[in-house]
Amino acid sequence: MTTQTSAPQTPSTPSAGTPTGLIGIPPRIGRALATGGGILTVISTFLAWTWTAAFPGDLTVYGYPGGLQVLVLIGGALTTLFGLASYGVKGLRWLVPAGADSAIKLAALAAFATAWYTIIAISTKLGGVVNLEPGGWIVAIATLATLLGALSLPFNRPEPDPIDPEDTGWEQFRHNARHTVSVVKAALATGTTTPARKLPAYAEILIIVAALAIGLTVFTYGIGTEYDELFVGFLITAGFGFAAIAKTGLVGRISAITAKHRNVTMIGAFVAAAAFPFTQSDDRYATIGVYILIFATVALGLNIVVGLAGLLDLGYVAFLGVGAYTAAMVSGSPSSPFDIQLPFWASALLGGAVAMVFGVIIGAPTLRLRGDYLAIVTLGFGEIFRIAVLNLDGTSGPDITNGSNGISSIPNLNILGFDFGQEHSIAGFTIARFANYFLLMLVITLVVVVVFRRSSDSRIGRAWIAIREDETAALAMGINGFRVKLIAFALGATLAGLAGTVQAHVTYTVTPEQYQFAHVVPPNSAFLLAAVVLGGMGTISGPLVGAALLYLIPAKLQFLGNYQLFAFGLALVLLMRFRPEGLIPNRRRQLEFHEDAEAPTVLSKAGV
């Protein structure tokens, strides 16, 4: 009896667990194609893309990128940089501690999406592809080749062990999460990810300075986009570019460095923000900047209530209104019923104190409620405040707030002889009214950041976090839950009232409709809560970034008309789908949403 042995079969498709890409190009060729395509993309931005200057940005110049070409240049440069790092080029491996393949995909997608958006916009606005110069065709082909090469790179995701079909959905989820953690640990053990090399202190400080300089440059560029197409391209490049950098692990590495040098980071961020008005040639964008700071400061105060203490407050904007109305009444305005004009420091303290009193009055009877019930009560308080100031017009009630007309003609601040309503020259730079208020609001923001940081690091801050995580367990450990929550409510209200005192002088007029739950123009309670969740609950920088985006994006999307809120809402849905923990999450919150994340040795109390 003979046994017939079959010849070994060569599989036509990769076996389970073999790293593969989305298309059939070998990864070695794909990596070379992506890197070479990135270089060609960079070169193409120095060519003319169209023959006429009718398209904004003047893309007719050879040798000098302009407008949307600059954004495509950035996408191509990132793709090239990550591609060279994937080859192990000395000095670049530090930039990709978690590997470069995923970052190459996203960077290539940034260049491709921005370039093809520009080509389509040129063809649509000028009347066809005949308006493209050779540079336009080259960049279209180069970015397409780059994307194809990037998509051929492997996804290093081995197949998990078979799942028991009798397991519940939660057990299957836990099974997949454990498998993902084992993959991460295996990658760390085999050296797939690059361990952080210990750097001297001066080098880490230089990295912080560079990161802050890049952040200031990106913010200044985004806020100063001159036309609609450029802002859309900026959103595409910034979104995919940030995602690519995050995939490399570089964001986490820099976050660890900033956490190590928190004081240096805070001072550097303050200096970078203070430099913003001096980068502007007029007061146009400083106007947006000061409103962003007001919005961000109030969001940071709300972060104490929502992010640290876990209390859902839907009427928080009312405390901003309390501070604004208080300052307006004692500012010397002819519409004020009180014939008094206090100095700014006195009106600021008074506005914060009155807001704190309202916070205690509202919080004392309601903070024994939890969850949805507390949210409903705070939402009711916000509406009660708006209706009350609307009716205090001398007809429906006492003449205190001047009803729907509000308190108008609020004079500009004058602190130690410095008139905030006049232009001033500082170090050869001329700054106007809104730039003056921007610098003042920056000081207020710094005060709020210090209060938030010291509070979160204190004993009461630990109690807030304990209440947020599990109130029943915190009460069992001896924490006075009601007192702790009332302190959070009062402190958050005080910070909002402090910001409101500046807002009253910036806007000249305070009216009831400014403090609705969902007013068209932020800040309002809905946008404030969204800024905290979008940026990252429980962190310092998260609400600041979230508030900046939530104010800047609607202001720049006005050209969409009736579709503005639709596009804005769609962007929020996508962001919450792919990054539910927020843009700059607290480490604890990141672990809640991503069980595959590597647990840190020490969990920070509040992120920077």
Write out pLDDT tens, residues 131-188. 899 999 999 999 999 999 998 887 654 444 444 444 444 444 444 545 444 444 444 4
Give yes or no for a contact between 37 and 149, defined as CB atoms under 8 angstroms apart: yes
What's the mean pLDDT when you consider all of the chain?
81
Same domain, 310 and 231: no
Of the candidates 534, 86, 474, the residue with the CA atom closest to the CA atom of residue 295? 534
- Residue 263: inside a domain: no
The whole-angstrom separation of Cα 137 and Cα 142 is: 9
Same domain, 320 and 232: no
- pLDDT for residue 68: 92
Q: Give me 497's structure tokens.
A: 């009232």
- pLDDT for residue 72: 94
Of the candidates 425, 243, 401, the residue with the CA atom closest to the CA atom of residue 321? 401
Same domain, 208 and 325: no
- pLDDT for residue 336: 85
Preceding amide of 56 cis, omega within 30: no
pLDDT at 522 over 70: no
The whole-angstrom separation of Cα 51 and Cα 210 is: 37
- Residue 279: inside a domain: no
| Degrees, nearest 5: CA angle 525-269-551 | 30
Same domain, 204 and 294: no
Same domain, 393 and 534: yes
What average pLDDT does this structure show over 410-439? 84
Tens of pLDDT, residues 450-502: 888 888 888 998 999 898 888 888 888 888 888 999 999 999 999 999 999 99
pLDDT at 565 over 60: yes
- Residue 445: inside a domain: yes
Same domain, 225 and 369: no
Q: Give me 392's structure tokens.
A: 């205090």
Same domain, 224 and 295: no
- Residue 511: inside a domain: yes
What average pLDDT does this structure show over 12-19? 43
Of the candidates 221, 204, 202, 220, the residue with the CA atom closest to the CA atom of residue 273? 220
- pLDDT for residue 110: 94
Give yes or no for a contact between 270 and 418, defined as CB atoms under 8 angstroms apart: no
The answer to which of 129-138, 291-300, 362-371 has the lowest mean pLDDT is 362-371
The whole-angstrom separation of Cα 383 and Cα 521 is: 17
Which DSSP category does 580 fall into? T
Of residues 494 and 255, more confidently modeled: 494
Give yes or no for a contact between 307 and 531, defined as CB atoms under 8 angstroms apart: no
What average pLDDT does this structure show over 296-309? 89
pLDDT at 13 over 80: no
- pLDDT for residue 594: 56
- pLDDT for residue 187: 43
Percent share of the chain, pLDDT over 70: 84
Which DSSP category does 246 fall into? H
Q: Give me 97's structure tokens.
A: 């501690």
**Domain that residue 78 falls in:** 27-156+194-247
Same domain, 403 and 528: yes
Give yes or no for a contact between 457 and 465, defined as CB atoms under 8 angstroms apart: no
- pLDDT for residue 456: 85
Strands 414-415 and 418-419: antiparallel
Give yes or no for a contact between 323 and 352, defined as CB atoms under 8 angstroms apart: yes
3-class SS of residue 510: strand
- Residue 314: inside a domain: yes
Same domain, 235 and 362: no
- Tell me the C-alpha to C-alpha distance, in Å, between residue 371 and each of 187, 308, 321, 588: 41, 15, 24, 21
Same domain, 225 and 298: no
Same domain, 365 and 489: yes
Helices of type H across 477-563: 481-507, 525-535, 541-556
The whole-angstrom separation of Cα 381 and Cα 386 is: 9
Of residues 267 and 576, more confidently modeled: 267
- Residue 1: inside a domain: no
- Residue 68: inside a domain: yes
- Residue 90: inside a domain: yes
Residue type, 85: A
What CATH number should be reported for the domain holding residue 537?
1.10.3470
Same domain, 210 and 292: no
What average pLDDT does this structure show over 559-572? 75
Number of separate domains in the chain: 2
- pLDDT for residue 584: 78
Q: Give me 448's structure tokens.
A: 């709020």
